[in-house]
A and B are shown apart, each in its own frame.
Chain A
Amino acid sequence: MVKLYALNVLYKGLHSGVWLKSSYDLQTIGFFQRGSVQEFMGFVSKTIVERTQTATRQSVKEGEYMCHVFVRGDNLAGVVISNHEYPHRVAHTLLTKVLDDFASKVPANVWPTATENSIDFHDLPVYLSKYQNPHEADPMTKIQDEIEETKIILHQTIGAVLERGEKLDDLVMKSESLSMQSKAFYKTARKTNSCCSYVG
């Protein structure tokens, strides 16, 4: 399905990513898995931002999901999680637009130390629902042309983004942001090779 699941804004700090704002649309995911899927998407967003160089765009494929990340020159970072049918260019257009909007409303000096609750920026859910239909969000062809020029790096798995010697399984098991329940979901999904959703 052409679908956006998550839209997150982070700051890429020296040692780790800082959460600035997040929003999710997980209505299509089963009730009992929804919480874990959300936790996992947050975990992946942060991990990928931390491993993306400043002033770079990447699109990472993982199963049926696509994770698009853009870290700007000033280390403000955005992540979109969609399914594989969602057009990549539109996802990156969305990131450009959201980060510009965010930077104009939240001053740069608070980014490194902010927390999600302290930030007064509530437009992410609006963007998320508007961009569910990529055709609706068309009238910004100009930005799209610019994006075509800067290259988007495409990776076939999350593994390709991780640093040498790192493994996703280890990162998941070590993570403190994931609950035991989510780790159990992850294990089952790995076993059945079915990604986060529809364990069975």
Chain B
Amino acid sequence: MLQEDFYPAAEKILSDILHIIKNDHTLTVVEIIPSLSNTNKSPIHREERSLGLESWCVQPVYCHAYKCVSDIRKRSRKNIDCGKLNSLLIGVLLINPEVTTFWNMRKDLLNNAKIDPHFELRFCSLVLSRKPKCSDVYAHRKWVLQKIMKRNHDDKCELLLNEMALCEIAADRYSNNYHAWTHRLWCLHQGMQINQKQFLIRELNWSHAWIQKHVSDYSGFFYRQQVLSCLSEYLQVENDDFVFDWFSSVDKAFNELCSSQQICSTVDAPLPLKLIFNELNLNSQMVGDFEAHEALWYHRRFNLYLFKKYLPAAYDREFSSNSEFGHTREGVPSEKNKKIESLGAQLRSGLISYENLFLKQYKSGKIDAATEKYSSRHQQWLTRCFQLNTLSSM
């Protein structure tokens, strides 16, 4: 009964929402405003870039829209009023986006060209402003993106950058937002197919700023680790001028570090190592600035693991079956190989003394209990990972 009484009002609210979303491209946020009573005024507010919906209307509008959509689904598919279905779906998904069936109905509308895919992207981002970790929205969005990218190649880059900006907002809203980060990673891989170097460098710089603002969000660190891994791989193969230009600052920091650890032959160090060493240095600084955040210590472990992976001796061993690169056929190390191995050993011991120096700061009684715990765990891990026996006495 109640719903029947409410019918015209609900229709009006739904069509108003659709109208606003369609015509106002500056809109970025949808909010529910807790309200005290039904004041017999329109429950829709439009301020600054936000659309506000008073809480009293949420339940009746949702129930009405849900019922109508279900009815349409049951009826034959021939005489569907697509405009009306669109506004119903928008209302129902804006309030509760966790209904996969309704997203699939929107896919139908898109396939029949009843909705513009770019409008759909805007609508999805509004839903995410309210529910930043809803996986259904990301899945739908990915589907829409693939549809657009198939159709048109020109604006692919811009499209991906727009996605990344969206993920940034969603990840900021809700920490450890798995779906947002997965979506961003997917975008990065798409972008790397267009321009690997540009996207990797861009994401490296972006995530640098991000982790400094979100020191306990491990999802963000994980993303950066993916970028660092890809970039390390890239640097191992590519040696163009650009890389050296970009690396001049990294080089400087690395050389300073090496001279402080008494490593002399720094020039030959592989580029990935310089990159990782730089990251390690950033991490040292952050552990000092932000006390007691476990995520920082785990990120440090990753850096050390990656460092170990790219130590010259290590990849020497990997390639040793190809005799031209590694050992000679008789199994005697070549001159060149000896040099590489000694560089590897030097870098390794340099790294370990750097770690010891770092850990020393977090041993005295002055620090908080949590940091003390993390640093002693780190020490244990280091001993295991680098198979050190002498470290514990230092």
Docked complex Cα distance between A99 and B45 (Å): 41
Known contacts A2-B214, A30-B29, A33-B31, A188 near B55 by CB under 8 Å:
yes
From A32, A33, A188, A198, give the contact of B173 (CB < 8 A). A198
**Which residues of B come within 8 Å of A, CB atoms?**
29, 31-36, 45, 47-50, 52, 55, 130-131, 172-173, 212-216, 285, 289-291, 293, 366
Docked complex Cα distance between A138 and B286 (Å): 12
Docked complex Cα distance between A180 and B33 (Å): 12
A/B pair count, beta carbons within 8 Å: 63
Cβ B55 vs Cβ A87 within 8 A:
no
Known contacts A32-B52, A180-B36, A200-B130, A87 near B29 by CB under 8 Å:
no
Cβ B31 vs Cβ A30 within 8 A:
yes
Residue in chain B with minimal CB distance to A191: B34
Cβ B47 vs Cβ A32 within 8 A:
yes
- By secondary structure, the B interface counts as mixed
Q: Is A155 an interface residue (CB 8 A)?
A: no
Cβ B289 vs Cβ A184 within 8 A:
no
Cβ B49 vs Cβ A31 within 8 A:
yes
Cβ A32 vs Cβ B50 within 8 A:
yes
Docked complex Cα distance between A58 and B131 (Å): 34
Docked complex Cα distance between A135 and B288 (Å): 10
Docked complex Cα distance between A133 and B213 (Å): 8
Cβ A31 vs Cβ B34 within 8 A:
no
Residue in chain B with minimal CB distance to A90: B289
Docked complex Cα distance between A87 and B131 (Å): 29
From B33, B35, B213, give the contact of A1 (CB < 8 A). B213
Task: Tell which of A32, A185, A198 has the most Cβ of chain B within 10 Å.
Answer: A32
Q: Is A148 an interface residue (CB 8 A)?
A: yes
Cβ A135 vs Cβ B32 within 8 A:
no
Q: Is A72 an interface residue (CB 8 A)?
A: no
Residue in chain B with minimal CB distance to A33: B31
Docked complex Cα distance between A143 and B209 (Å): 27
Cβ B289 vs Cβ A188 within 8 A:
no
Cβ A87 vs Cβ B366 within 8 A:
no
How near does chain B come to A200, taking the closest CB pair, in angstroms? 6
Known contacts A31-B29, A31-B52, A184 near B34 by CB under 8 Å:
yes
Docked complex Cα distance between A71 and B33 (Å): 36
Residue in chain A with minimal CB distance to B286: A135
Q: Is A147 an interface residue (CB 8 A)?
A: no
From B32, B36, B50, B291, give the contact of A31 (CB < 8 A). B50
Residue in chain B with minimal CB distance to A3: B213
From A85, A185, A199, A200, give the contact of B293 (CB < 8 A). A85
Docked complex Cα distance between A200 and B32 (Å): 7
Known contacts A85-B214, A199-B31, A135 near B131 by CB under 8 Å:
no
CB contacts (< 8 Å) of B50 on chain A: these are 30-32
Cβ A87 vs Cβ B212 within 8 A:
no
Instruction: List 29 A-B residue pairs with CB atoms under 8 Å apart, sorted by A's residue number.
Output: A2-B212, A2-B213, A2-B290, A3-B213, A28-B172, A30-B29, A30-B31, A31-B50, A32-B47, A84-B216, A85-B215, A85-B290, A87-B290, A88-B291, A89-B291, A133-B212, A135-B289, A138-B289, A148-B366, A180-B36, A184-B34, A184-B36, A187-B34, A188-B34, A198-B173, A199-B31, A199-B32, A200-B32, A200-B130
